[in-house]
Amino acid sequence: MNWRLVTIVICIGIAGFQLPLETPISKVSAQTSAQKQAERRTGLTKEEMCYLAESITVRVLSTDRLAQGSGTLVYKQVQGQGWRYGVLTNAHVVLEKNSLIIQTQDDRLYPAEVIHSFARSSSGDDLALLQFDSPVTYNLAMLGASSSLKSGDSVLSAGFPLLAEPSSSRGFACMAGSVSLVLDREMRQGYQIGYYVDVQKGMSGGPLINSQGEVVGINGKHSHPLPFGTGNQNPYEYKDGTLVSQSRELLESSSWAIPIERLGQTQQESP
């Protein structure tokens, strides 16, 4: 994939947000103005937010249909008689896999491929972009700005926890909480938004949503990580290697997300 070919600007509520794609501009579809206005309402109830979250969250499966994690529908473009969808997830969800399966809200299964790994680029962010084709129209995430978040703001985290049930079981989880802190710069792997939500394994790649129904981040790390020993990286370091100054108790009690703006900073490198 040559990421230098075309840069497309999609109006998604972030000034200057750009998503590089190898596709004609005329074939990209974002949310309509009516949808945007509806989703930008203030004071959404948890039920409304969960309904919205479920419509834009997919399950990421391996080709043998074992659950890998979650993903968020972030764009679509015309493809033949249907659509080609973009799914943002964590790089650690897909690991070295290139072929995967996406399970959508209606339980349909689609073959998918990794088209860009941020982890393999110079940013090193724990993100990956997948694509799949479908004749069905699905909702897209309305993307917001993580820079507007502050401590105490209400947020909701969504995804598919890893369960004992077969992968055909929906098992969708939608959890409300609040922002604990937003760092002034990103830690290793791009994590920057801390929040009090009990994110579980399998919810990685799912959306972090603000009270206006906008996706502001991508789930990736749960609270209280396993202790690290000699020779292992401190999980609370900035990208330059300096330690985050906030208290260890606050950092460890927070789950962590990568700001959605990272999607607009796709590196000009092949996956």
pLDDT-derived band at 104 (thresholds 50, 70, 90) equals very high
pLDDT digits (tens, 9 = 90+) for 133-160: 999 999 999 999 999 999 999 999 999 9
Domain span at residue 256? 146-261
* Counted domains in the chain: 2
30: region left, alpha or beta (phi > 0 left; psi from -120 to 50 alpha): beta
The answer as to whether 24 is a domain residue is: no
Note the pLDDT of residue 15.
34
| Domain CATH for 34 | 2.40.10.10
Q: Which of 86, 120, 138 is the last residue of a domain?
A: 138
Note the pLDDT of residue 227.
55
pLDDT digits (tens, 9 = 90+) for 202-258: 999 999 999 999 999 999 998 877 554 444 567 899 999 999 999 999 999 999 999
The answer as to whether 53 is a domain residue is: yes
pLDDT digits (tens, 9 = 90+) for 109-126: 999 999 999 988 888 999
| Cross-strand pairs, 127 | none
CB-based contact 61:68 (threshold 8 Å): yes
> What's the Cα-to-Cα distance from 105 to each of 41, 56, 79, 165, 199, rounded to whole Å?
23, 8, 20, 17, 20
> What CA–CA distance (Å, rounded) separates 191 from 148?
16
Please name the helix (run of DSSP H) or strand (run of DSSP E) that holds residue 69, with its range, or none: strand 67-79
Please name the helix (run of DSSP H) or strand (run of DSSP E) that holds residue 115, with its range, or none: strand 109-117
Q: Are residues 113 and 169 in the same domain?
A: no
Asked if pLDDT for residue 172 goes beyond 80, the answer is yes
Q: Which of 138, 169, 191 is the last residue of a domain?
A: 138
pLDDT digits (tens, 9 = 90+) for 61-72: 998 888 889 999
